[in-house]
Amino acid sequence: MNSSPGMREQFAAISLLRWQVFTHSLRNLRGRMELASRIIMMFGYAVVGLGGTIALGILSWYLISHDALAWFALPLWLLFLYWQLFPVMATAFTENFDASNFLRFPLSYRSYFLIRLAYGALDPTSVIGAVWLIGMAVGIGVSAPMLFPWAALVLACFGAFNILLNRAIFAWLDRWLARRKSREILGVVFILFVIGIQFVGNATGYFLRRYGNHRRPELAGAALKVLAVSRVLPPGLAATALSAVEQGESAVALGAFALLCAYSGAAWAFLHLRIRAQFRGENLSEAAPSVARGKQEVRVGWSAPGISGPVAAVVEKELRYLSRSGPMLFPLIMPVMILVILRFGAANTGRGANLFMRHIDFAFPIGMAYALLILGNFTYNSFGTDAAGVQFFFMSPVRFREILLGKNLAQGVILAAEVLFVWIGVAVIFRPPGLRITLTTLAGVLFAAMVNCIAGNLLSLYSPKRFDFASFGRQRASGITALASIGVFAVVFGLVGFAVVLAAYFGKSWLSTLILLALAAGAWRGYVFLLARIDRLATGRRETLIAELCRAA
């Protein structure tokens, strides 16, 4: 007699386990703050979901009512692109549980596959996409009630395809990111893709502004031809299945729906290959077997006047980690890329260009503000890349203040390089920034850097999160850290803006520099005060810090 639990019992046990993990996490302050941050994020998702549902419902009603079915593929293409691209862009703000942890339990493959699929369906992106599809179905039903059952079936199949494809993409990305070489290549490709989207969007906006008013019929005809060509792809097939029924072409509608189901089956097979290999115990470790070697020469570490050996060692470690990671190093050039987009993009060829070109002195502050936002990824989760190696910090005969001081100095070196890089970029792309704007910007950067170090050191101890290079779709920092960093940057940029406005009001440009230097001096005092007490804080948070960074991602 087989006494193994059935699928229903397994799902019930997993649900109970996740519920208990959630309730137990609320026993400490961090768990309650994480819950608060998730509620805030869910509120934002709810606003986006509700607004999109209403907009797509009205658009679907309009297209059906006005016999504009040829355009119905457009909202489906937008929804498809959102479903597949937005999760990639939102990895810094979403918390996705790694369902592969369930491989530790005696689950059947069928149960494990459905669990992975269920977690994908409950992802905020998938929930919003499903709600948007419901809005489209309701809009179609209001305009043509007889078409509602068929529309619900087609859109449900389209939603299933998107969920399966999204999960398959993330599963295969995890496979490719398990290897360092492919991880580096994918990181660079992804960043180039993001930059390319910016240029494509600017070029499209420029083209529409220049030719849209004079050649609107030609542009509409070209767009319809593009949508017609896309009929062999899932969004176009879903639109064809809906429009063909409305036009009485049942055979065409059934054929399009059958092809859409075939695409869903192909996405399922694509996902099945990865999950099946994972379920069978595929080992993606890239650790090479140890080989006995002869005596090797010990290299002397870095040294600098006035910096102790342990601090210099931490600085060297941090900079070597950064220099060997393309995905971490490549974003540092993004501030200059933003300036290039502002200079040569569509914003510089329309009416907005006149306003921007009249105030190009703000190019240097804009570039440095963006650089500070990017460097927040390093500052607010200082121990994320150390992972289990954080244990060696506590085992070594070094004060923890020296470790954090070394990390902050490394971050300061990166920031100094960014200042020089952005200044040269502004000088080449626009013109060299004036002395007044340079000094004011440097004072503001100094103030922001000190505040970031204070907030970053505290959040790195109280809300750490392991950064797994071989995983995709899970945020690099905790929800608390993400929200706190937004608040800190809002306050810092607000104070910098207040100093600039105050100086302009009194007509004394040097006043803003003095105010920002005074704020930086106050922040420095706060940093020294915190650094003097960081050993006691780190000792008190030692167990939590090690447990969080050593556990599976």
What Å distances lie between residue 333 and 234, 345, 369, 418, CA to CA? Answer: 36, 17, 13, 8
Closest among 223, 222, 240 to 231, alpha carbons compared: 240
What Å distances lie between residue 119 and 98, 116, 122, 123, 538, CA to CA? Answer: 9, 5, 5, 6, 35
- Residue 529 or 191, more confident: 529
User: What is the identity of the amino acid at 492?
Assistant: V
Residues in a beta bridge with 304: 307
Q: Where are the domains of the chain?
A: 7-279, 309-550
Under DSSP, is residue 433 helix (H, G, I), strand (E, B) or coil?
coil
Task: Flag whether pLDDT at 454 surpasses 90.
Answer: yes
- Per the prediction, the chain carries an average pLDDT of 78
| Residue with the two structure tokens 């910096």 | 307
Share of the chain above pLDDT 90, in %: 16
Q: What is the mean pLDDT of residues 93-97?
A: 52
The confidence score (pLDDT) of residue 93 equals 46
- Which of 205-214, 315-324, 446-455 is least confident? 205-214
Q: CA-based Rg of the chain, rounded to a whole angstrom?
A: 27
Task: Mark out the alpha helices in 90-179 (DSSP H runs).
Answer: 109-121, 124-143, 148-177
The confidence score (pLDDT) of residue 227 equals 59
Instruction: Compute the distance between CA of residue 315 and CA of residue 323 in angstroms, rounded to an integer.
Output: 12
Tell me, letter by letter, the H, E, C secondary structure of 254-288: HHHHHHHHHHHHHHHHHHHHHHHHHHCCCCCCCCC
Q: Residue 54 corresponds to which tokens in the numbers above?
A: 């209403």
Q: What is the mean pLDDT of residues 231-250?
A: 84
For 385-396, how does the pLDDT look when each residue is reduced to its tens digit (9 = 90+)?
787 788 888 888
The confidence score (pLDDT) of residue 285 equals 52
- Per the CB < 8 A criterion, the answer to whether 523 and 456 are in contact is no
- Per the CB < 8 A criterion, the answer to whether 480 and 37 are in contact is yes
Task: Flag whether pLDDT at 520 surpasses 90.
Answer: yes
Instruction: Compute the distance between CA of residue 108 and CA of residue 85 in angstroms, rounded to an integer.
Output: 31
Q: What is the mean pLDDT of residues 190-200?
A: 65
Angle, vertex CA 383, rays to CA 378 and CA 386, nearest 5: 110
Task: Flag whether pLDDT at 473 surpasses 50.
Answer: no
The confidence score (pLDDT) of residue 445 equals 93
Task: Flag whether pLDDT at 373 surpasses 50.
Answer: yes
The confidence score (pLDDT) of residue 483 equals 75
The confidence score (pLDDT) of residue 450 equals 93
- Per the CB < 8 A criterion, the answer to whether 431 and 360 are in contact is yes
With both helix axes pointing from N to C terminus, report the angle between 309-323 and 400-429 in degrees, rounded to the nearest 10: 50
The confidence score (pLDDT) of residue 289 equals 46
Closest among 544, 507, 549 to 29, alpha carbons compared: 544
- Which of 37-41, 88-92, 100-104, 262-266 is least confident? 88-92
Q: Residue 452 corresponds to which tokens in the numbers above?
A: 């970031």
Chain centroid, CA 426 distance in Å = 27
Task: Flag whether pLDDT at 493 surpasses 80.
Answer: yes
- Residue 135 or 210, more confident: 135
- Residue 355 or 539, more confident: 539
Closest among 23, 48, 47, 46 to 34, alpha carbons compared: 23
Q: What is the mean pLDDT of residues 274-290?
A: 66
Closest among 114, 17, 34, 113 to 459, alpha carbons compared: 34
Under DSSP, is residue 6 helix (H, G, I), strand (E, B) or coil?
coil
- Per the CB < 8 A criterion, the answer to whether 107 and 275 are in contact is no
The confidence score (pLDDT) of residue 88 equals 62
For 5-18, how does the pLDDT look when each residue is reduced to its tens digit (9 = 90+)?
666 777 777 777 77
Q: What is the mean pLDDT of residues 252-267?
A: 91
Residues in a beta bridge with 307: 304
- Per the CB < 8 A criterion, the answer to whether 30 and 480 are in contact is yes
Closest among 57, 114, 124 to 86, alpha carbons compared: 124
- Residue 262 or 28, more confident: 262
Instruction: Compute the distance between CA of residue 368 and CA of residue 362 in angstroms, rounded to an integer.
Output: 10
The confidence score (pLDDT) of residue 211 equals 52
Enumerate long-range contacts of 122-127, CB under 8 Å, 24 or more apart: 123/87, 123/94, 123/96, 123/166, 124/41, 124/42, 124/45, 124/94, 125/82, 125/83, 125/86, 125/87, 125/90, 125/94, 125/166, 126/83, 126/162, 126/163, 126/166, 127/45, 127/49
- Residue 543 or 264, more confident: 264
The confidence score (pLDDT) of residue 15 equals 74
Task: Flag whether pLDDT at 505 surpasses 80.
Answer: yes
Q: Residue 258 corresponds to which tokens in the numbers above?
A: 């059958």
Instruction: Compute the distance between CA of residue 127 and CA of residue 130 in angstroms, rounded to an integer.
Output: 5
For 396-431, how does the pLDDT look when each residue is reduced to its tens digit (9 = 90+)?
888 888 899 999 999 898 899 899 989 998 888 888
Task: Flag whether pLDDT at 470 surpasses 60.
Answer: no
User: What is the identity of the amino acid at 189?
Assistant: V
Query: CB atoms < 10 A from the CB of 222, how many?
Result: 11
Give 228's pLDDT tier (boundaries 50, 70, 90): low
- Per the CB < 8 A criterion, the answer to whether 126 and 79 are in contact is no
Instruction: Compute the distance between CA of residue 179 and CA of residue 470 in angstroms, rounded to an integer.
Output: 8
- Residue 297 or 496, more confident: 496
Closest among 365, 353, 467 to 91, alpha carbons compared: 467
Q: What is the DSSP letter of 345?
A: S
Task: Flag whether pLDDT at 75 surpasses 80.
Answer: yes
User: What is the identity of the amino acid at 100?
Assistant: S
| Residue with the two structure tokens 């200079």 | 343
Please, what sign has the CA dihedral across residues 112, 115, 121, 122? negative
